[in-house]
Amino acid sequence: MNRPLAATADNIGSAPTAAVQSPYYRWGQLIMGIVCMAMIANLQYGWTLFVNPIAERHGWSRAAIQVAFTIFVLTETWLVPIEGYLVDKFGPRPVVLVGGLLCGLGWVMNSYADSLTLLYIAAAVGGVGAGAVYGTCVGNALKWFPDRRGLAAGLTAAGFGAGSALTIIPISAFIKSSGYEAAFFYFGIGQGLVVFLLSWFLSRAPEHKERTSISSINVQQTKRDYSPAEVLRKPVFWVMYFMFVLVAAGGLMATAQLGPIAKDFKIGDIPVNIMGLVLPALTFALAIDRVLNGLTRPFFGWVSDQIGREQTMFIAFALEAIGILLLYNFGQNPVAFVILTGMVFFAWGEIYSLFPSTCADTFGSKFAASNAGLLYTAKGTASLLVPLSSVLAAATGSWHTVFIVASVMNAVAALMAWFVLKPMRKAHIARQD
């Protein structure tokens, strides 16, 4: 007589045997992860819409308000290794479930925040929730698709990058008609509820899926699984970490400061007509940017599966450096502002597919969620520079220094991908120590 399966840490959140045999099951897991990511996207990408209304309502400085954004990104990123460990041990379901509840709670708290202290606490609550959802969905994609890591991680991250595109216009309109507090409250509850419901259908990838090797000879993969403790002792990990910080910093500055930049350029509310669609410049830019920031992740992820991770990094980071310079020089034209911010976001968003897939290629699948979480903390480190960008702009009276610094960071990362990371990864995989 067969014994019933016990509910242990090894099978919580595991997939049913019959479902695992279906070649389409893992695509269902991927799609649900993408939807979950889309539901938490506005916690970061919709933030810029709230900065000016909050400042006008309470009289707080933009720099003080942006501290909340920094706290959100820090808690979203620096706790992901812990959340990744929980995913590796218990599966994705319980981690995403709790994450969805915290995401909704964070925005509801924002709606009631009448002090900077409460605003900061709400940012921390939302950040923990967003990190739990983000780290779980990316880690799960890496495990289900070892043969297409770049594409799978890119599609999952695209949910986060483009997820706010469908709601950015409704949120903007809701803020103008009902106030930012109501927008925080109702969108927070709706987004958190969707994540909570989908979490019940997520399951962990089976071991045999993790051993599939990629077909492209341009993508080198380790044959050994490295634990997080081992990863932290590898110099190649810290090279990837430093590069991640360099590129993420410039993109986060643009993400958090796009509203204030448009206001200072005096173009935010100027109507822009592109292909018959007329919207205010800032709203238009935010909508297009979200779409391009989403498309770039699977696109460059797929490209990296074909030509290699480092080669793709070099191309994308170089484009980002050029795009930032062009935005500074021509961004005071409303049409140019919309187009060039799209270019900046397109050349930036791919880091969230390239770095996780490169990490799993380098250190294996077994601890992919934990190890990718360690690397993802670089985004939190980069967020420390976001308030500094406001300070620099205020001190110099323009965004010149901010744009130059961000462009140089991306140029350095592009060169490091080709001349530093590529030979180091090759030597690491050859040693298999």
Distance CA 200, CA 91 (A): 11
pLDDT of residue 265: 81
List, as one string, the DSSP characters of 293-332: HHHHHHHHHHHHHHH-HHHHHHHHHHHHHHHHHHHHHHTT
Encoded tokens for 12: 């919580």
N-to-C CA span, the chain: 45
Report which listed range, 73-77, 290-294, 419-423, 425-429, is most confident: 419-423
String of DSSP letters for 77-135: HHTHHHHHHHHHHH-HHHHHHHHHHHHHHHHHHHHH--SHHHHHHHHHHHHHHHHHHHH
DSSP 51: H
Give dist(CA 129, CA 17) in Å, integer.
30
Single-letter amino acid, residue 222: T
Q: What is the mean pLDDT of residues 374-382?
A: 88
Q: What is the mean pLDDT of the chain?
A: 85
pLDDT interval class at 256 (50, 70, 90): low
| Least confident segment among 78-92, 223-237, 253-267 | 253-267
Nearest CA-CA partner of 169 in 285, 75, 67: 285
* Confidence check: pLDDT of 17 > 50: no
pTM assigned to the model: 0.79
Specify whether the backbone of 202 is left (phi greater than 0), alpha (psi in -120 to 50) or beta: beta
Residues 6+ apart with CB under 8 A from 316: 296, 300, 347, 350, 351, 354, 414
Q: Looking at this protein, which amino acid is placed at residue 184?
A: F
CA distance 336 to 347: 16
Enter the tokens of residue 92: 């994705």
Average pLDDT over residues 288-292: 79
Top CATH class of 23-431 equals mainly alpha
- Entry field: residues in the chain: 433
Instruction: Give the model's pLDDT for residue 433.
Output: 57
Q: How many helices (H) and strands (E) does the chain have?
A: 22, 2
pLDDT for the residue 217: 65
Confidence check: pLDDT of 7 > 50? no
Residue 5 has pLDDT above 70, yes or no: no
Whether the per-residue pLDDT at 117 is higher than 80: the answer is: yes
- Burial letters 263-293, b for 16+ CB under 10 A, else e: bebebbebebeeeeeebbbbbbbbbbbbbbb
Taking CA atoms, 50 is separated from 62, 180, 328, 411, in Å, by 11, 7, 23, 31
In terms of Cβ atoms closer than 10 Å to its own Cβ (0-12, 13-18, 19+), residue 427 is: exposed
More confident: 251 or 410: 410
pLDDT tens digits for 233-247?
999 999 999 999 999
Cα–Cα nearest to 140, from 32, 19, 24: 32
Domain definitions of the chain by residue range: 23-431
Q: Residue 429 pLDDT > 50, yes or no?
A: yes
pLDDT digits (tens, 9 = 90+) for 175-229: 988 999 999 999 999 999 999 999 999 998 876 444 444 545 678 888 889 999 9
